[in-house]
Amino acid sequence: MLALIEVSLGNQLAEVGDYSADFFIPLMGTTDGMNAEFLAVLEFWEREKGISKDVLVAAVEEALVSAAKKAVGPARNLRCTIDPKSGDIKAFASLVVVERAESRHDQVSLAEARRLRPGAQLGEEIEVEVTPSNFGRIASQYAKQALLQHIRKHEKQLIYTEFKDRTGDIVSGTVRRFERSDVIIDLGRYEALLPNRERVPTEEYQIGERIRCYVKAVENTAHGPEIILSRADPQFVAKLFLLEVSEINDGTIEIKAIAREPGFRTKIAVHSRDEKVDPVGACVGLRGQRVKNIVRELNNEKVDIIKWDPNVKVFLTNALAPAKLKSFEIDEAARRVRILASEDQLSLAIGKRGQNARLTSKLTGWQVDIDLEPVAKMGFEEKVAQAIQAIAAIPGITEAQADMLVHAGFLSLEDLAQVESGDLAAIPQLADQAPSIIEAVRAEVGRRGSQVTETSELSPGPVGSEAASH
């Protein structure tokens, strides 16, 4: 398109009538008008780039003045105009009427002035339509450069104007090319940058692939405005929820906090302003459809939706679920909390490579330390005392008898159930008490056995679909 500028300008400016002056050639009539191709160029840029034709015309006029000055040197109030309708180019210089012109740049003789304007007087300024004799080639080059500069400048201004208020929006574009590890995204009329730091480490993009991104910033760089996109920012996920969940969009549900490790897991805390609306259920959607759509957009990144609570203990419990926590030690001043978990729940609470604990810390804004609950180890004396207490609980056996039995090696009811009277008769202190002890043990075994039988008879069998499966 810009090649037409050189041709059309060169053709038109060659049509100017000639005059004996070395520098200026006054036009003795009108030109046939600029080529339709040049007007078509201006209309093309107006349509494609959204740049007003008047702006482009002003740029070319300015370029033509520069071209004229380059060709002829200094001139008095030199200006060039382009008729936006016909495309006619006209160059004008303000010349002072003198008796005899000594400077061709800013003077015109009285005779010549009256030929151009019959009423001209000495000392008067008249505007004469002029053009340099070698204007065509130079003018076309200047006009082309001016148009390119103004188009680039205007494009940059349009980028900033259109996107400065769109920070935080989600846009859709096509992967155009790669610059090292950065990705250039075609948004239609503009190109945007998806830097390597804003990419999801588990994602690979192909040229021509269509992707959605979060507009993170519009930066004014040395090369002009630049649209910075992101797929790794936590707010990208928050915006997807805003678009997918109508209750978030209308303000019924509020996203209180979000923490993300891009490509792996996101935790999002939600709160409902309406007690009748379950925030977690609304975000999950019917049969999980809402959250499935978001997970699909995130290429199967795991998403945990958590109910927010002003009580930090409840909030942390929700965030670390399904792990069961034993106790909390909260330091309000340092915003630090130490959580104790049993051995079988510790790895579940911490998560793979500490991911669950890290995300919970980011989500809540508290430093979270998860430790194993200390388990007190029972010493020998405690075990002996516990065994004595258990045997003394059998009706018919005293604590003194229980003490002697334990020290003789009978540590439980099961051990006593297997003894014979001769075994107890061998213990000097219990020889005469052996029959009563054996009778008490058998009675206790019988009582406990009947309890087990009754419990099994009263236990219900599988119900409903579980029964069918059995």
State the residue range of the domain holding 384.
380-448
Residues 350 and 211 in one domain: no
Looking at the fold, whether 14 and 31 belong to one and the same domain comes out as yes
Within 13 Å and on the Cβ side, how many CA atoms surround 382? 4
pLDDT value at 221 more than 80 = no
* Residue 26: pLDDT over 70: no
> Is residue 460 a part of any domain in this protein?
no
Q: What is the CATH number of the domain that holds 261?
A: 3.30.300.20
37's enclosing H/E stretch is: helix 36-49
| 425 and 326 belong to one structural domain | no
Distances (CA, A) of 302 to 178, 257, 265, 323: 28, 16, 5, 17
Q: For residue 335, is it within any domain?
A: yes
- Number of domains present in the structure of the chain: 4
Say if 400 falls within a structural domain: yes
Spacing of C-alpha 166 from chain mean position: 13
- Final residue of a structural domain among 350, 372, 394: 372
Nearest-angstrom CA–CA distance, 108 and 102: 8
For residue 139, what pLDDT is reported? 65
The DSSP output letter for 197 is G
- Same domain (yes/no): 292, 386: no
> Which CATH number covers residue 135?
3.30.1480.10
Residue 328 to residues 307, 325, 374, Cα–Cα distance (Å): 19, 8, 13
pLDDT per residue as tens digits for the range 340-377: 998 889 999 999 889 999 999 999 999 999 998 887 66
Asked whether residue 247 falls in the same domain as residue 181, the answer is: no
Residue 468 within a domain: no
Give the pTM. Answer: 0.59
Answer with the one of 177, 201, 230 that is the final residue of a domain: 230
- The angle at the Cα of 204, spanning 201 to 209, to the nearest 5 degrees, equals 140
- Judge whether 118 lies within some domain: yes
What's the whole-number mean pLDDT along residues 388-416? 81
Query: Which CATH number does the domain housing residue 427 bear?
Result: 1.10.150
Average pLDDT over residues 132-149: 67
Based on the domain organization, do 323 and 311 belong to the same domain? yes
Q: Is residue 62 part of a domain?
A: yes
Q: Within this chain, do residues 216 and 302 fall inside the same structural domain, yes or no?
A: no
Q: Are residues 291 and 439 in the same domain?
A: no
255 and 361 in one domain?
Answer: yes
The one-character DSSP state at 3 is H
Residues 220 and 242 in one domain: no
195: left (phi over 0), alpha (psi -120 to 50) or beta: beta
Residue 321: pLDDT over 50: yes
User: Residue 211 maps to which CATH number?
Assistant: 2.40.50.140
pLDDT at 417: 78
The number of residues in the chain equals: 470
User: Does 465 fall in a domain?
Assistant: no
Among residues 351, 372, 393, the one where a domain terminates is: 372
Residue 124 lies in a domain: yes
Sorted by sequence, the CB contacts under 8 Å of residue 436 that are 6+ apart come out as 396
Same domain, 16 and 79: yes
Check pLDDT > 50 for residue 154: yes
Beta-strand relationship, 367-372 and 302-307: unpaired
> Where residue 219 falls among pLDDT bands split at 50, 70, 90?
confident
> Is the model more confident about 244 or about 81?
244
State whether 124 and 101 are in the same domain: yes
